[in-house]
Amino acid sequence: MGVAFSLAVVGVLILAITLAVEVLGLRFLVGAVLPYVAVAVFLGGMVYRLLGWGRSPVPFRIPTTGGQQRSLPWIKPSSLDNPSSTAGVIGRMALEILLFRSLFRNTKAELHGGPHLAYHWEKWLWLGALVFHWSMLLVVIRHLRFFTDPVPSFVYWVEGIDGFLRVGLRALYLTDITLLLGVTYLLLRRFFIPQVRYISLPGDYVPLFLLLGIGLSGVLMRYFVGVDVAAVKELALGVLTFRPRIPEGIGVLFYIHWGLVCALLAYFPFSKLVHMGGIFLTPTRNLPNDSRARRHVNPWNYPVKVHTYEEYEEEFREKMKLAGIPVEKE
C-alpha cells in the first residue's frame, strides 16, 4: 500500500508538471515561482525543526556508547566510541557524518538450530548509504556551474575527476551511475527484506521515488534527450538573482526535473531526510560521556520539599524503638 501510494504521488507530480508546461503554458509558474515557494518552505521548515530540537532540554549525558568509558588510568578508554572530551566528540561526529561509522559497525543476528545465536557481517547498508550520499554531494557541487558566474575552480576540479571516463566526445560522470545505484539499492532493500518492508511507511518511499525521478530525468537530459545548457543556466541565474526569466528552447523534461527538485526541497523538513540537520543536534552523538568525571545537575529541576532522615527519625523515634528498629539518636 505504501509503495503504490508513494509511486502515485510522484506520478501525479510528474503529470501535473507536464500538464502545466505543455497544456496550460505555465512555464513561468513552474520555472520561476515554484523554486521560491520551495525554498521558502524549506528554510521555514528547517528553522522550525532546528529551533524545536534546540529548545529540547538535555540536562544529562546520554550518548550511545560502543566502547570502554574513561575511568582508571591503567584502563585504556575508547576515545571515539565512548568519548569523554570535546575532541573525542568532534572525531566521533566527523566519522559519523563523513563515513557513517555506526552503519559500518552494523551486524545481523540470526537464530540457528540448537539454538545458537550467530552474528554475521552486514556492510551492504553502510556501503549503499555511503555511495548514495557522497554521489549526491558531488552531483550538487557539479550543478553549481548553473548557479554561478564565473564558475568556481573547485567545481571544474570535481567535474574533471568525476568525468574522467568518456563515451565518444561526451564525459560520463561516475556519480550519475553511482547515485542511481545507491537510490535503487536503498529502495530495493525496502522491497525484499521482510523486516524492513514491515516497518516502511509512505514517508520512507516518497523521498526515494523523488530522488529516483530526479536522477533518471537528469540522466535522460544529459545522455539521451539533450537540453539547452545555456538556457538552463540563464533560468537558474535569473531565479538566483531574483530576476527570473523563462528562456525559449527548454523542453518539458527539464521542467519535470526542476519541479521534482522543488518538491523534494519543500518536502525535506517534514521527512526523514531532515536527519541531515538533526545529526548535529543529536544528544546520543554530540555529548561527551563524562558522567563519572562531572556531576550533571538538571537545571530545570524545581525546588522540592524533602523529608530528611533526621527529620523522619525525630518524628517517629518512639515508634521505631517500640518496633525494634535501631535509631541513631537515643
What mean pLDDT comes out for the span 289-308? 85
Question: Which helix (H) or strand (E) is 165 found in, with range?
Answer: strand 165-167
Cα–Cα distances in angstroms (integers) from residue 59 to residues 65, 80, 81, 290, in the given order: 18, 22, 21, 13
In residues, how long is the chain? 330
**CA pair distance 143, 270, nearest whole angstrom:** 24
The amino acid that residue 75 corresponds to is I
**CA pair distance 81, 122, nearest whole angstrom:** 19
What mean pLDDT comes out for the span 156-171? 83
Higher-confidence residue of 36 and 80: namely: 36
196-220 pLDDT, tens digit each: 999 999 999 999 999 999 999 999 9
Mean pLDDT, the chain, integer: 91
Q: Say what the pLDDT of residue 1 is.
A: 66
Which percentage of the chain shows pLDDT scores above 90? 61
Residue 244 neighbours by CB under 8 Å, 6+ apart = 28, 31, 32, 235, 238
What would the DSSP string read from start to end of 241-299? Answer: TT-----TT--HHHHHHHHHHHHHHHHGGGSGGGHHHHGGG-TTTSS---TTTS----T
Q: Say what the pLDDT of residue 87 is.
A: 93
The amino acid that residue 226 corresponds to is G
Q: Say what the pLDDT of residue 258 is.
A: 97
* C-alpha cell at position 287: 555529548
- Cell 527570473: give the residue: 244
112 forms beta bridges with: 116
Q: Say what the pLDDT of residue 324 is.
A: 87
Burial class, 307, CB count within 10 angstroms (exposed 0-12 / middle 13-18 / buried 19+): exposed
Domain ranges of the chain: 2-322
Q: Say what the pLDDT of residue 296 is.
A: 84
* Res 170 pLDDT > 80: no
pLDDT band at 328 (very low <50, low <70, confident <90, very high): confident
The amino acid that residue 45 corresponds to is G
The amino acid that residue 278 corresponds to is G
Tell whether the torsion through CA atoms of 141, 9, 183 and 102 is positive or negative.
positive
Q: Computed over its alpha carbons, how large is the radius of gyration of the chain? A: 28
**CA pair distance 100, 285, nearest whole angstrom:** 12
- Which CATH number applies to 2-322: 1.10.3720.10, 3.60.15.10, 1.20.950.20, 3.40.50.10490? 1.20.950.20
**CA pair distance 80, 63, nearest whole angstrom:** 12
pLDDT band at 249 (very low <50, low <70, confident <90, very high): confident
Question: Which helix (H) or strand (E) is 108 found in, with range?
Answer: strand 107-112
* Res 42 pLDDT > 90: yes
Q: Say what the pLDDT of residue 169 is.
A: 65
**CA pair distance 28, 250, nearest whole angstrom:** 12
* C-alpha cell at position 138: 558531488
146-159 pLDDT, tens digit each: 999 899 999 999 99
- Cell 572530551: give the residue: 85
81-139 pLDDT, tens digit each: 899 999 999 999 999 999 998 888 887 777 777 678 777 777 889 999 999 999 999 99
**CA pair distance 66, 83, nearest whole angstrom:** 10
* Res 305 pLDDT > 90: no
How many C-beta atoms surround the C-beta of residue 35 within 10 A? 21
Question: Which helix (H) or strand (E) is 259 found in, with range?
Answer: helix 252-267
